[in-house]
A and B are shown apart, each in its own frame.
Chain A
Amino acid sequence: DGGITQSPKYLFRKEGQNVTLSCEQNLNHDAMYWYRQDPGQGLRLIYYSQIVNDFQKGDIAEGYSVSREKKESFPLTVTSAQKNPTAFYLCASSPTSGSSTDTQYFGPGTRLTVL
């Protein structure tokens, strides 16, 4: 089955701890993205990566970090510097060549709650 997996589905952490959210895709997509979703708001872009070993900040990158060491993996670390980390986090991917470069495919999301 091809798709995007995010783990865990629910995550609880104490304030001041760093936490890493996993995102893996087996779609052979070059581009991957992390979005944050808060109640009543749309998705806001945190980071994105168009190719392995390269990534760019999105609109709300402060307090987050990413790595892209492998094409299929794009983990997101929520650091203690993120002032309000409780949110629903969505990972997405898209091809950068071929006929479907326009479309992003989303994972099921991780709900992070900081206590």
Chain B
Amino acid sequence: AQSVTQLDSQVPVFEEAPVELRCNYSSSVSVYLFWYVQYPNQGLQLLLKYLSGSTLVKGINGFEAEFNKSQTSFHLRKPSVHISDTAEYFCAVRVRNAGKSTFGDGTTLTVKP
């Protein structure tokens, strides 16, 4: 079975500051890794994903994430956040060639002016 732990439930940060949202996972088999963003009362939107290859992946809205196999981590970063980045962020893993995804509990990012 797979599990995902998002280490911070809430991250407050000031506008234009850098941010890192942390995600650790466990799995006995190879997985794909994802970050999604959810704005209030909306569905999830894919930010970025890691399938294979380069461990640094870039996504939409200026976000990037780094896959670290030895630490089983997939932390999300942005060098300078905007008010509009305020949202819930979910890390997820999916076993290769399987249908289901496992999600973390989410991290609420609040960007203050």
**Using a CB–CB distance below 8 Å, which chain A residues touch chain B?**
4, 6, 9, 31, 33, 35, 40-45, 48, 50, 58, 88, 90, 92, 94, 96, 101-109, 111
Contact = CB atoms under 8 A, between A and B. Distances in A.
A92 B96 CA distance: 18
A103 B59 CA distance: 14
Contacts of B45: 106
Given A102-B51, A103-B49, A111 B100 contact: no
B44 A94 contact: no
Contacts of A6: 43
Contacts of B106: 40-42
A113 B51 CA distance: 37
B100 A45 contact: yes
A20 B36 CA distance: 27
A48 B42 contact: no
Interface residues of B, number: 25
A9 B43 CA distance: 11
Interface of B: 4, 6, 9, 32, 34, 36, 41-46, 49, 51, 90, 94, 96-97, 99-101, 103-106
27 contacts: A6-B43, A31-B99, A33-B99, A40-B9, A42-B6, A42-B103, A42-B104, A42-B106, A43-B44, A43-B90, A43-B101, A44-B103, A45-B100, A45-B101, A48-B100, A88-B41, A90-B43, A102-B49, A102-B51, A102-B94, A103-B34, A103-B49, A104-B94, A105-B46, A106-B43, A109-B41, A109-B43
Contacts of B9: 40
A92 B46 CA distance: 12
Contacts of A103: 34, 46, 49
B4 A42 contact: yes
Contacts of B90: 42-43
Q: Which 9 A-B pairs have the closest CB atoms?
A: A42-B103, A106-B43, A106-B44, A43-B103, A42-B105, A108-B43, A102-B32, A109-B43, A42-B104
